[in-house]
Every structure is written in structure tokens, then in C-alpha cells.
Amino acid sequence: MPNCGPLKPVRLFSPAKINLLLAVTGRRPDGFHDLVSLVAPLDWGDWLEAEPADDFSLVCDDPEVPVDGRNLVLRAAAAFRGATGWRGGAVFRLTKRIPMGAGLGGGSSNAVAALRALNELAGRPLADTGLAAVAANLGADCTLFLAGAPVVMRGKGDLVEVLPPTVAERLRGRRVLVFKPGFGVATAWAYGRMAAQPRHYVAADAVEASLARWLHDTEAPPTDIVGNNMEGVVFEKYPALPVLHERLRQRFGVIPGMSGSGSASFVFVDALQDESSISACIRDAWGPGSFVVAANLT
């Protein structure tokens, strides 16, 4: 076999996502929750580089991010080794932009980027179906990031359906402001509160009917599908979120939505709206610890 030289580092974009629609419909016998969600990746997020090494390690430019076995990047690396038997390693360098505890899928996206990077370094031993199987075992949000396009998630998040091209085109390029207060929301806590207060669940049939109408109505804007029944439990504990949502509705006529289990939210903006004024309103309400970024759906 010819000597191809040393393997080069692989650098991949690791996008954030927003849940345009998130409907948690009940708790499953396995302890997870059933959901229906319309999810879109953004053109903004993290970057992950994987450089060949003897073993796996992780460094990150954000000191708040754990770089041990708690991080999904290293858990993904271990899962990849277990699935393929590959004995190589990598030093992962994570450039972190997606805040933690935001409901923007940062950890899951990083895990999928790690799987893809290792698959390249190892000579692509896993096809797309193999990558999806490994990703699904890492977390419910992971599988959606393999699609690289807007999807509908069902089940516990592991059943992913890519939107038809005509529907995806209605979303692609739409601009959003994503904003987060200075605190995060623990996903496990939020789902635990849903289980403790089942009145917040919604009927799956009603959600599927609403989603089907939106998918087939070529004139329906993205704002028509925005909704998240996890807001009920999260807003009870964190009133700063609904107060700002209402202020943005009243002042700018936008429709805010919470992404995932929070604490990040988003609003669609267009050329007729002043992004700087909306951003200033958010920062004025939530103070210097708040986070605001503009991005486009991909």
C-alpha cells in the first residue's frame, strides 16, 4: 500500500438549531418523552477540529465548558471507537459560540461533528446509516444534525424526517434573532417538570394536524408554526422570559418562541424591522449578561 503521508486535521462547522415547533405529547414507558418538533439548523454555531493523536482529548476556548468525559465530544469519540474498532485517537479543539443551557443543541451538534470528523480520519468506516445509529445512542437531538437541513422529529427525537425540498425552501435563508438571558435551563429539570405537571402535555393528533396544514399551505409563513408547550413549565420558574416575550410582541409586532427547553428564544425578522432596536430592547430588559446573535436558517 502506498504511503499517503500523515493524516491532516479535520475542521467542521457545528451549527446551532432552533425548534420552530416543539410539542411534548406525553411520557413514554422508558422514561423519555414523546414529541413532535420542527427543527431548523442555523448558519451560526461552533467549530470543531480533530487532529490525529494517540488517544482522545478535548480543549475548548470557553473555560466553562467541561473537557472531560461529561462532554458529548469525548462520549461520541468513545462511541465511535466502540462501533468501528478504530484504535486511532484525536485531539479535539472546540471553538465554542453556542451557549450552554440554551436549548440550541450545542452539545448534540458538537457530538455529531466529532463523529463526522473521526469517520473522515478513520477512512469512512461508517455509512450514513451507521453514523445515525451511533448518534441516536448519544442523545435525542443528535440525529437531526446529520440531516443538515430542516427536519421533523418524532418519538423521543430519534425519528427524523427531512422536509420536502419545497417546504425547506420556505425556511432557508430566513433571518432570526436568537437571544438568551444570563442563565440557562437544565433540560432534565424541564422535562421533569413536564412529567410532574402533565396538564402541559398536548395531544399528538392535534399537533400533527396543525403541522400537516402548515406543511401543505405554501403561503403560510414560518411564524404560523411557532409554538412550544415547554414554555408553560419554564416560564413559571423564569418570569423574565415571558415578560420580555410580551414586550417584544407589543413593541415590535414579532412572535417570539422558546427553543427546546430554553433558556434561548428567537424571533423572525425581515428587512422592514430594525434588528438593532430589537437587540437593544433585549439587552435593556436582561442586562449585560444577555446574549443576542443574528443568524439565518439553513
pLDDT digits 0-9 by tens, 131-189: 999 999 998 789 899 999 999 999 988 899 999 999 999 999 999 999 999 999 999 99
* pLDDT-derived band at 6, boundaries 50, 70, 90: low
pLDDT given at position 7: 79
Cβ proximity of 278 and 252 under 8 Å = yes
| pLDDT average, residue stretch 97-118 | 97
The mean pLDDT of the chain is 94
Beta strands 33-53 and 89-95: pairing type?
Answer: antiparallel
pLDDT given at position 5: 57
State yes or no: pLDDT of 274 exceeds 90. Answer: no
Cell triple for residue 111?
A: 457530538
11-21: per-residue pLDDT in tens?
999 999 999 99
First to last CA, the chain: 41
Q: Rounded to 5 degrees, what are φ and ψ at 271?
A: -65, -20
pLDDT given at position 141: 85
State yes or no: pLDDT of 1 exceeds 50. Answer: no
Distance CA 23, CA 90 (A): 38
13-72: per-residue pLDDT in tens?
999 999 999 999 999 998 899 999 999 999 999 999 999 999 999 999 999 999 999 999
Distance CA 39, CA 115 (A): 21
Domain ranges (residues) in the chain: 10-162, 171-206+217-296
Cell triple for residue 66?
A: 467541561
pLDDT given at position 269: 94
3-state SS of the chain: helix, strand, coil percent to 5?
Answer: 40, 25, 35
pLDDT given at position 140: 79
pLDDT given at position 4: 55
Distance CA 51, CA 63 (A): 20
Q: What does the CA dihedral 184, 187, 193, 195 come to, rounded to 10 degrees?
A: 170
| pLDDT average, residue stretch 89-112 | 97
pLDDT given at position 3: 47
Task: Indicate the residue type of 105.
Answer: G
State yes or no: pLDDT of 194 exceeds 50. Answer: yes
What does the longest C-alpha to C-alpha distance in the chain come to?
Answer: 68
Helices in 18-140 by DSSP H: which ranges? 72-84, 106-121, 128-138
CATH fold of 171-206+217-296: Alpha-Beta Plaits (3.30.70)
| pLDDT average, residue stretch 212-220 | 95
What is the pTM assigned to this prediction?
0.92
Catalytic site positions: 17, 141
Q: Which CATH class is domain 10-162?
A: alpha beta
